[in-house]
Structure 1
Amino acid sequence: MNKNNNNTPQMRFKEFKNTGEWQEKYLWQVTIWDKKFKGVDPKKQENTIKYYYYLADELKKLIREKGTVKILTTNKTNFFTNEEEVKYTLTEGEIICIPWGGNPIIQYYKGKFITSDNRIATSKDINILNNKFLYYTLINQLKLISSFYRGIGIKHPNMSQVIDMNILLPSIPEQQKIAEVLSTADELIDAERRKLEALKK
């Protein structure tokens, strides 16, 4: 695959900014997070959604081949577990998360899940912000988010900087359209990657 291809989802996201009217919002204005963050004005985080956080070693023991509950680690993985084993700690929803420690990545999931120590966000109002659109917005801002990670050894994000990021929002129909286009592009890229991996094997 050509690494210089400008038709990636991230590059195509930028193209949409040239069309229609976009309104500017701070991230804290349109999202709810899993914790109240240090150094953040309480008015910016009037509500939170609490989750149960597993340790990495605990999650490893819960991996099941035919599980139906997503295990959200702090890396991009495709692990699942059985609902019966985690029925008191699972959550169902549509979320975006970034790792509390380590390398910054953006993950999206919709459905039943359990999580390790991720910082988790969801839209305050899906009539204003589409969660899948938020996912692609944050991917497009990954370099900036990476600059908010600090520390010696394992780095952690400065969440006061993260939630103060500016994001641009078109109308909900446009957000949905953009998310669908980029999601289709992701699927095609993943399919090509799987083909290449199969050929290597």
Structure 2
Amino acid sequence: MKSSIAAGSGSALVPERRFPEVQDTAVWETAPGNELFQQVSNRKAPPGLPILAITQEHGAIPRDMIDYNVSVTEKSLETYKEVRPGDFIISLRSFQGGIEFSEYHGICSPAYVILRKRGRLCGAFYRQYFKSHAFIQQLTRNLEGLRDGKMISYKQFSELQLLKPAFPEQQKIATCLESLDTLIAAQRRKLEALSAHKEGLMQQLFPQEGKTQPRLRFPEFEGAEKWEEKHLEGLAKRGSGHTPKKSMPEYYDGGIKWVSLADSKRLDQGLISKTAIEISDKGIKNSSAVLHKAGSVLISRDAGVGKSAIMASPMAVSQHFIVWTCDDRRLSNWFLYHLLQHSKPLFERMATGSTIKTIGLQFFINLRFRIPSRPEQQRIADCLTSLDDLIAAETQKSETLKIHKKGLMQQLFPRIGED
């Protein structure tokens, strides 16, 4: 069932999806923001309350619970406002991410607007509603013209028409969406645990800096030969890239995948199979760009320094990347990929520059690593790649849950002002 609503206060509407228990109950109503929420500005909070950071990820949360390094003077603290559990806070960027909720008793900057429920409202319902696509669009529409970063006032909020279903339906919707949040949070913790497990495993499977051997070897290699320090260029052919002239349209859109800084988000995920930009044969022939073989390993030398990937098909790269094509008899490309991932702290330390940090070519020319035998390389690569596959599968589950919740919210919250 499609929703329908007039613009004024008290207008009725019906969401696309309702729970069976409330299917035949009263239609939803709307009310101005100031009828549902009052503004509170108590600057005489009890002493010792935590200072709250207002974030889109965590809502209002004590600063010492997250990485938040903004100092506050004792004089400034005198102007801070009290926030009670259940209060809502208009974020400095509320029109980008909704209105934040506090589960904590604390204080926050006087720059924020604190909202407290009037009467019988389900706070958990409005916590979800203020993050819904329908409300964000409404908020953005009403705030059109405001510069990025400027906070809305209570007066502007008070003029917004807010959804107000019957209290039991508010509770029903809140319970449903909070159960999904619980699943999403559990999936996130699972991913964090897998990522931490992988990081810990890599610390043991590769020698630490200054060490000659790893702390952990697979049983079949415990008595095998030691890892030997080798010059990477003796095991793989090093290559680089170039950017064809952008003023020549015939050099582009020719079907040859070309890895550039625009592909930063596609790196660190094992294989890279797509690129934001493609070039042409003419682009290759009329520049210093080179077509590298499928299976080659690339690494970013600046702007995301240390990010790496393996080419799923023949590709060219921009000058911001170094490419290694491994001698498969001596070096596994997947072992090299995981080794580069493990060596990110080294690359980050070696990067220099004030604006964009970069690593000079000579560093890569001289690069040496401790390398085990080819069979042990393969065993390590297979183990870590399997773990990456598991992390990728669990990441997909997490994204599916988020998409499901987003779609459900679009059905549960009608859009105000639509026919």
Report the TM-score, using the length of structure 1 for normalisation: 0.72
State the alpha-carbon separation in 2 of the partners of residues 71 and 31 from structure 1: 21
Which residue in 1 is equivalent to 2:410? none
Distance 1:54 1:182, change over 3 A: farther
The answer to whether structure 1 residue 24 and structure 2 residue 245 are counterparts is: no
The answer to whether structure 1 residue 172 and structure 2 residue 374 are counterparts is: yes
State the alpha-carbon separation in 1 of the partners of residues 379 and 385 from structure 2: 10
> Structure 2: 5+ residue runs without aligned partners?
1-187, 206-213, 267-272, 285-290, 404-419
State the alpha-carbon separation in 1 of the partners of residues 344 and 245 from structure 2: 25
Say which is worse superposed, 110-119 or 142-151, in terms of deviation. 110-119
What do you get for the CA RMSD once the two structures are aligned? 3.1
State the alpha-carbon separation in 1 of the partners of residues 400 and 245 from structure 2: 33
**Contact residue 100 and residue 119 of structure 1 kept, 8 A:** yes
Cα distance per residue 1:142-188 (max 9 Å; x no partner): 01011111112122112323443431211111211211221111111
The structure 1 residue matched to 2:325, chosen from 122, 125, 129, is 122
Identity %: 24
The answer to whether structure 1 residue 7 and structure 2 residue 197 are counterparts is: yes
State the alpha-carbon separation in 2 of the partners of residues 56 and 185 from structure 1: 40
Q: What displacement does 1:137 show?
A: 0.6
Q: Which amino acid aligns with 2:389?
A: E
Distance 1:79 1:191, change over 3 A: same
State the alpha-carbon separation in 2 of the partners of residues 165 and 11 from structure 1: 24
**Contact residue 257 and residue 277 of structure 2 kept, 8 A:** no
The structure 2 residue matched to 1:106, chosen from 276, 291, 308, is 308
Q: What displacement does 1:82 show?
A: 10
Report the TM-score, using the length of structure 2 for normalisation: 0.37
Q: Which amino acid aligns with 2:227?
A: W
Which residue in 1 is equivalent to 2:259? 72
Greater C-alpha radius of gyration: 2
Q: Which amino acid aligns with 1:167?
A: F
Aligned residues: 177
**Contact residue 148 and residue 162 of structure 1 kept, 8 A:** no
3-state DSSP of counterpart to 1:101: coil
State the alpha-carbon separation in 2 of the partners of residues 76 and 199 from structure 1: 21
The higher-RCO structure (CA 8 Å, 6+ apart) is 1
State the alpha-carbon separation in 2 of the partners of residues 160 and 28 from structure 1: 12
Cα distance per residue 1:51-83 (max 9 Å; x no partner): 55457998xx749xxx7x544223132634899
Distance 1:179 1:56, change over 3 A: farther
Distance 1:137 1:91, change over 3 A: closer
**Contact residue 55 and residue 116 of structure 1 kept, 8 A:** no
Q: How does 1:1-201 map to 2 (within 5 A)?
A: 1-2=188-189, 3=192, 5=194, 6-8=196-198, 10-16=199-205, 17=214, 18-19=216-217, 20=221, 21-34=226-239, 51=241, 53-54=243-244, 62=253, 70-74=257-261, 75-77=264-266, 79-80=274-275, 86-87=280-281, 89=284, 90-104=291-305, 105-117=307-319, 118-123=321-326, 125-201=327-403
Q: Extract structure 1 runs of 4+ deviating beyond 4 A.
A: 54-58, 80-83
3-state DSSP of counterpart to 2:313: strand
Distance 1:95 1:11, change over 3 A: farther
**Contact residue 259 and residue 277 of structure 2 kept, 8 A:** no
Cα distance per residue 1:57-112 (max 9 Å; x no partner): 98xx749xxx7x544223132634899x7345344332122224312111222422
